[in-house]
Structure 1
């Protein structure tokens, strides 16, 4: 980035936005390198993370949330069930439907993956940043939190 004192505020904001976007993309790639994502398609990952975040759901509700047809969602769900990542149970409100949820084994797999990424980042911060730089990073993290807050 250019010298910040020579740049008008609007141009600085645009430059920071570009730098931050690129940096976040690099950080995501590094996190992916630290994780074993398996052979999931992006759609399968989206469904698995939605089930983790929002809890059990029917094929219809998952399809609506992901902008898909229920038939397509059914095709997406089948291999996840076969692999033991999700399990179905009758919907107590409508016995004709199945509520899908993550298995405890898959939840543990997610937990271990997150722990591996957390450990990698903690080790990198400790190894590459001085105490003063870690304090600066803490301040920057607080500013980033403000950017994403509603």
Structure 2
């Protein structure tokens, strides 16, 4: 992969392929560290959106997630049945219901993040020496540049 004699575009393509595969594997490993239970990717996405952006209606969630209203309604119903979201009247429009995370869901999200953070911290400390940690820190700065607009 890291052959300096290759043209820059070929090196970038090879590196992009490796990064994508590695990030996917790392994401799966981190997901294993927290209990997402039987939640679907759509349900997880809705919970993360509600956490990040605050209360929302089913319609606004459907638009944001690129789903039909009926599909989002079934996602929301499952999350409500699991006790992860609850609905209340919209103070600006009483006909609307605003959905938000329950306290139990917030605790569950925090516990999952803590478990993933703990696993990653322990794994870094156990598998990388000081020089490798320095290299990784440099790589993280480069990844941040890629991620920023």
TM bin, normalised by shorter chain, reads over 0.9
1:143 aligns with 2:145: no
- 1:23 matched residue in structure 2: 22
Measured against aligned partners, the alpha-carbon deviations of 1:81-114 in whole angstroms (never above 9, x if no partner) come to 1221011110011101100000111011011101
Query: Structure 2: how far apart are the matches of 1:34 and 1:69?
Result: 32
Query: Structure 1: how far apart are the matches of 2:56 and 2:125?
Result: 41
1:63 aligns with 2:62: yes
Query: Structure 2: how far apart are the matches of 1:104 and 1:16?
Result: 42
Structure 2 portions without partners, runs of 5+:
none
Query: Structure 2: how far apart are the matches of 1:143 and 1:81?
Result: 40
Count of residues paired in the alignment: 149
Secondary structure of residue in 1 paired with 2:93: coil
- 2:105 matched residue in structure 1: 106
Question: C-alpha displacement at 1:68, in angstroms?
Answer: 2.0
1:38 aligns with 2:43: no
Measured against aligned partners, the alpha-carbon deviations of 1:108-129 in whole angstroms (never above 9, x if no partner) come to 1011101111111111111111
Structure 1 portions without partners, runs of 5+:
none
TM-score, normalising length: structure 1: 0.94
